[in-house]
Amino acid sequence: MILFLYAARRTLGAFAVALAGVVAIFLAVDFVDNSSAFSGPGVVRAVLELYANKTAIVVGQVAPAAMILGAAVAVSTFRNTREYTAMRALGLGPWRLAVPVLAVTFAAGLALMVVQDMWGVRAAERVEEIQAFRFGRGGDRRRYVESHAPKRWFRGQDGRRIYHLRGPEPDEGSAEQAPPTTRDGALVGVTVLEITPDFQLARRIDAVRMRPDGGAWVLDGVEDRTFLPDGTVRLERADARRYEFPEPPEAFAVVPGRPEQMRWKTLLSQLKVRRHLGLPVKQFELERYNRIAYPFAGVPGALLALALALRPSRKGHISAALLESVGVTLLFWATQGVTWALGNSGRVVPWVAAWAPDVLFLAAGVLAVRRTR
């Protein structure tokens, strides 16, 4: 236990230093590249807020690489101080170092997953908002508003109905907005279009509001137009009318935004809603699995870097650890890029695309550690 805690503390310290260094370098380079756009009143406060949020994003992106670097440096110090030689003389194998290193990287991955869901997602949204409204141009603001506008057009599950939901704009500053509703769950400003198999308009229903009622919907302030084959239109008005639409209330709960900018609970609910509506869900499925797989990428990567650091013929120690960890990280990112491309193209299922790099590097790390004996 003493050796375990000693190795774990050294690994944790190396990981913290590596993470701070990598994040600082990334932010410094980013600031130099974008500093020409920072101007106007209150620029200091805006820049500080921008880079505070960018820090959370960068930590989530580079933490696995920092885990790999920290593991390689920590193990290299054991060899540099001859502590590993003493361990081998006592009959202690490489796994006595590997276990505490893996424990630290696993705990760091778990913490990263939680922190990113609680703060990282909102930070990414806030960075995009600041860049669009404070330091962007007119086109940047327009694209931001359009991408975060609530979804107002829905096609029914059977393809025969198209719903247009209007009403008040969503609350300012909130990206996770469903279509406009009232407190009782009713949808306001509703138009329902019924189309024929050859995509001809057969019926149009306009209503002030639409509220769920058991397995049906009640529409208030209804104007119901039926387009007859002879070209005439039959109009019916009613204060309230009940319709048997097959779509449940949750079918209209689609929120705007990219899946990587959604919290875990929202991501899962949107995946379910979009699958029910027949909307594309490939990106959402990839993000769901990657939200867990990527934070733990440091575990297999650290194991492989550790094995490289313990190989018998190795020289250079710390300098070699830096090169090896960078090589392992780049190789992991390249592998992830390939598997994600395969997942996006539909050649492999999303969970394979997300977890394949972790599994491949874990297998390679286990084999490499066994060869160091």
Q: What is the mean pLDDT of residues 1-17?
A: 88
Domain ranges of the chain: 2-139+281-371, 153-255
Range with the largest mean pLDDT of 74-78, 174-178, 217-221: 217-221
Percentage of the chain exceeding pLDDT 90:
32
Sheet holding 233-243, edge to edge: 153-155, 161-165, 187-195, 201-213, 216-227, 233-243
Cβ atoms within 10 Å of 349's Cβ, excluding its own: 14
Render the burial of 283-321: b for 16+ CB within 10 Å, e for the rest: bbbbbbbbbbbbbbbbbbbbbbbbbbbbeeeeeebeebb
φ, ψ (nearest 5 deg) of residue 291: -60, -25
Q: Would you say residue 267 has pLDDT above 80?
A: yes
Token representation of residue 177: 């907005």
pLDDT of residue 266 exceeding 50:
yes
Angstrom distances, CA of residue 42 to CA of 31, 47, 86, 136: 17, 9, 59, 15
261 within 8 A of 124, measured Cβ to Cβ? yes
pLDDT at position 248 over 90: no
- Note the pLDDT of residue 173: 40
Tell me the average pLDDT across 305-310: 86
The fold of the 153-255 domain, in CATH, is lipopolysaccharide transport protein A fold (2.60.450)
Mean pLDDT, residues 300-308:
89
pLDDT value for 106 = 93
**Distance separating alpha carbons of residues 305 and 325, to the nearest angstrom:** 6
Angle at 28 between CA 22 and CA 33, to 5 degrees: 125
Q: What is the pLDDT of residues 109-124, one digit of tens each?
A: 999 999 888 888 888 8
Residue 73 has pLDDT above 80, yes or no: yes
Q: Which among 363, 360, 362, 366 is positioned nearest to 336, based on CA atoms?
A: 360
* pLDDT, tens digit, 9 for 90 and up, residues 252-262: 777 767 788 88
Helix/strand/coil (H/E/C) assignment for every residue in 262-275:
CCHHHHHHHHHHHH
The Cα-based distances of 372 to 153, 198, 205, 311, 366 in angstroms read: 60, 68, 73, 5, 10
Query: pLDDT at position 148, please?
Result: 61
Dihedral (C-alpha) 128, 133, 135, 140: value to the nearest 10 degrees? 70
The model's confidence at residue 77, banded by pLDDT at 50, 70 and 90, is confident
Average pLDDT of the segment spanning 175-195 = 68
pLDDT in tens, 129-183: 888 887 776 666 676 666 666 667 777 777 788 888 875 444 444 444 455 554 4
Query: Given phi > 0 = left and psi -120 to 50 = alpha, else beta, which region is 115?
Result: alpha
At 325-347, the pLDDT tens digits run 889 999 999 999 999 899 888 88
Instruction: Provide the pLDDT confidence category of residue 103 given band limits of 50, 70 and 90.
Output: very high
Left, alpha or beta for 91 (phi > 0: left; psi -120 to 50: alpha)? left
Predicted TM-score (pTM) of the model is: 0.72
d(CA 16, CA 11): 9
